[in-house]
Amino acid sequence: CQKGADELHRQGLIKLQKRDNTGAIENYNRAIILDPNNHQFYKNKGIAMAQLGNLKAAIANFHKALKLEPKDLQSYHNLGATYAELGKLNQAINLFSQALKFNPQDSQIYHNLGVVRFKAGDPQRAIADYNQAIKFNPTKIEAYYNRGIARRFLGDRQGAIDDFTTLLQLNPQVVDAYTQRGTVKFDMKDIKGAMADFNQAIKLNPKHLEAIYNRAIVRRLMRDNNGSLKDFNQVIQINPNYVDAYIKRGIVRFDLGEHRGALEDLNRAIQLQPKNAEAFYHRGNTKRSLGNFPGAVADFQTAIHLNSQYHQAYNDLGIVRLRMGDIKGAIKDFEAAIQINPNYAEAHNNRGFTKFKLGDIQGAIKDFETALQINPNYAEAHNNLGNARFQAGDFQGAIDDFGETLRIHPNYVPAYNNRGLARLKLGDFSEAIADCQTALKINPNYGLAYYNLGLIHCEMGDLQQAIVDYNQVLKLYPRKIDAYINRGLIYMKLEDYAQAVKDQTSALDINPNLGHAYSFRSQGYMKLGNFQAAVDDLHKAAEIYQQQGKRQEYEKIINTIDSMKDEHDQ
């Protein structure tokens, strides 16, 4: 009988090695009938059961093996690992701890204990276990690997890097160690180091999904969007159901200006995972860029429904509402973002911008200052604060703010233009011109700089140059109403009344509800001797002011009409 049982055991081992688990179980069932007290048979039968996914049956066999041989460490290992796989972590910890009583220097038991303790949410004790595993086996690479994972979890990034580096010195072919070390380097802002590790991981395994995905993230951060896109394409080719890869590829496509492609990727992500708030958020931003504001609002609202703490979604929803003219709704969204994250500088900046639009200049200044307390290098907030101070009449304060913007972002064109206008207000014409010219040097098609040059040259009395400036504005922005009006006023000063009337007419063709344009054109008609046209324009101006509730302007126009009629009658 014993000889037959041993032969069945030998055959069972061969079948286990070949992953013929069903065949192995049959062999061990027959062997157990011949020799029911052999713990090896139950242990190996349990291994086969576990590999088939029948974990409860595996546990029963491991228990039987331990009952027959209470000091069999392999059975403790197997039973503990099976309990851990079932999520019964306390039972696994107890088993491994019990096994240490029989062999207190077993490196593998300490390692297994560390793995289970980490899963149980006790990373500190897990590290202590890994330390013991390494103490008794200084070349145990999986202990270095898992200790590195635990150290990273606890924020000990350098310790994690040291562990992965030691592991790679022991075995330079462990792909996952390069990937993990690259991830920690990325956390430490060592972008080049992270890239080198991901490259090495991919060199060893060209289809290593995590390494390719992480390299795609790094490439985007390095502004290599084409390289990033190539990596995400490969990730999706390897795993066509990788939701995060579709989301991230959509973001890269968006950055590359492929908004339709971005939309396709985000649609696919939502199709695969209909409750993914991030996918809805990014799709909302894509729809916003495509001009689909109602669609963007719907997506941001869905993202918020799925994640009520999604402060970025509230912020971007506010931006879209602002674009749609829903200023009160925008304020409400920005305030929701701030309530969730009081240190969200962008929401403070955007609420300030909205208050600025409402005419609440002091409220806007307060919000911009709060944004800058949170992030002193927020160039846009400095620029917005400068605009608010300009409106409040604090021109020197505005100049200082625009200067801060340019310190952070030396090529920020609007700040040069805005500082030029503030310097004009203080009568510093040469510096004002220099700022506008710098703006145009950076962006020769920045029409607002030409517009401000027109204001400056007009203030300096250089009317011909001002006309040249406004010509440039209208070449770039043919519907820039203020440029027509200002150029028309200059033509009045130059006594070119026909051209003055023509410019005011161009402004009114774009917007026929401009009372002041009718008033200016009236002056041109008077100089041309067309009294009736002049009076008609003033009547039209009065009508517009009355409709707009501008009582003072209305009465002024009526008085002008009466005076003109009196003079004409005489």
> Is residue 175 within 8 Å of 182, Cβ to Cβ?
no
Concatenate the DSSP letters of all residues of 351-416 into one string: HHHHHHHHT-HHHHHHHHHHHHHH-TT-HHHHHHHHHHHHHTT-HHHHHHHHHHHHHH-TT-HHHH
Q: Is the CB of residue 346 less than 8 Å from the CB of residue 379?
A: no
Residues with Cβ within 8 Å of 114's Cβ and at least 6 positions away in sequence, in order, are 125, 126, 127, 128, 129, 130, 133, 143, 146, 147, 150
Q: How many residues does the chain have?
A: 570
pLDDT of residue 411: 96
The encoded tokens of residue 24 equal 């192995």
Beta-carbon contacts of 167 under 8 Å, excluding residues fewer than 6 positions away, are: 141, 144, 145, 148, 174, 177
Spatial contact of 361 and 388, defined as CB atoms under 8 Å apart: yes
Three-class DSSP category at 125: helix
pLDDT along the chain (570 residues), means of 10: 80 91 92 92 93 93 92 87 91 90 92 95 97 98 98 97 98 98 97 97 97 97 96 98 98 95 98 98 96 97 98 98 95 98 98 96 98 97 98 98 97 97 96 98 97 97 98 97 98 97 97 96 95 94 94 92 74
Residues near 269 by Cβ (< 8 Å), separated by ≥ 6?
A: 243, 244, 246, 247, 250, 276, 279
CA–CA dist 387, 403 (Å, integer): 12
Q: Which of 312, 282, 315 is nearest to 299 (CA)?
A: 282
State the alpha helices, DSSP H only, in 188-224: 191-204, 209-221
The predicted pLDDT at position 432 comes to 97
Please name the residues in contact with 55: beta carbons below 8 A apart, sequence gap of 6 or more: 49, 82, 85, 86
CA 492 to chain centre: 52
Delimit the domains of the chain by residue range: 479-570
Tell me the HSE value of 454 on the side-chain side, using a 13 A CA sphere. 23
CATH classification (class only), 479-570: mainly alpha
Contacts of 297 (CB under 8 A, 6+ apart): 284, 317, 320, 321, 324
Identify the pLDDT of residue 568.
67
2-26 pLDDT per residue, tens: 678 888 889 989 999 999 999 999 9
Q: Distance between CA atoms of 225 and 64, rounded to whole angstroms? A: 59
| CA–CA separation, 403 and 15 (whole Å) | 77
Nearest alpha carbon to residue 44 among 56, 34, 29, 35? 29
Residue 67: what residue type?
K
Residues 291 and 440: their CA atoms lie apart, in Å, by 28
